[in-house]
C-alpha cells in the first residue's frame, strides 16, 4: 500500500507483522473537497486490508489540522470499514482541544461490534 501525498497532507502507511495497516497523518488536511482525493485512497487501503485479512489504525497525533470536510471523509471510511467487516481504530491526541472535540463527535459510531474504536494516545 502506497503513501498518500496531496497538498499539505501526507499519510504514511506501515504494515505491522500482525497485519495492521498503520496510517500516520502529517501536515494539514485543508483541501476544499478532501473526500475527492481521500476516497480512492481509502478504497485501495480497504482492499489491501481485506486481502490480507488485516485491520486499519489511523494515527492523527502528528497532524496539525484538518477541516470539517475531512470529518465527512472519515465518517465514510468508518461506514465502509463496518460494511466490509474491517476493524478500524483511530488514535488521536486528547491534549489538543481541536482533536478532542473532533474525535469525541465520532464516538457515536462506536458500537458493540468491535469494528470501530477511538483511542487517545
Residue 18 structural domain:
4-120
Mapped onto helix, strand or coil, the DSSP state of residue 105 is helix
pLDDT at 35 over 90: no
* Tally of structural domains, the chain: 1
Residue-by-residue DSSP string for 10-76 = EEEEEE-TT-EEEEEEEEEE--S-HHHHHHHHHHHHHHHHHHTT-EEEEE-TTEEEE-HHHHHHHHH
pLDDT at 8 over 90: yes
pLDDT for the residue numbered 97: 95
pLDDT for the residue numbered 92: 98
Query: What's the mean per-residue pLDDT of the chain?
Result: 95
| CATH code of the domain containing 29 | 3.30.750.24
**pLDDT mean over 35-60:** 96
pLDDT for the residue numbered 82: 96
pLDDT at 80 over 90: yes
Amino acid at each position: 500500500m502506497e503513501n498518500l501525498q496531496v497538498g499539505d497532507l501526507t499519510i504514511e502507511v506501515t504494515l505491522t507483522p500482525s497485519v495492521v495497516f498503520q496510517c500516520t497523518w502529517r501536515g494539514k488536511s485543508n483541501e476544499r473537497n478532501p473526500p475527492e482525493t481521500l476516497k480512492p485512497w481509502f478504497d485501495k487501503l480497504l482492499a489491501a486490508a481485506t486481502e490480507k485479512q488485516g485491520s486499519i489504525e489511523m494515527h492523527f497525533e502528528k497532524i496539525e489540522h484538518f477541516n470539517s470536510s475531512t470529518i465527512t471523509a472519515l465518517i465514510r471510511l468508518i461506514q465502509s470499514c463496518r460494511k466490509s467487516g474491517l476493524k478500524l481504530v483511530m488514535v488521536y491526541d486528547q491534549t489538543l482541544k481541536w482533536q478532542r472535540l473532533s474525535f469525541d463527535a465520532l464516538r457515536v459510531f462506536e458500537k458493540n461490534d468491535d469494528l470501530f474504536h477511538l483511542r487517545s494516545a
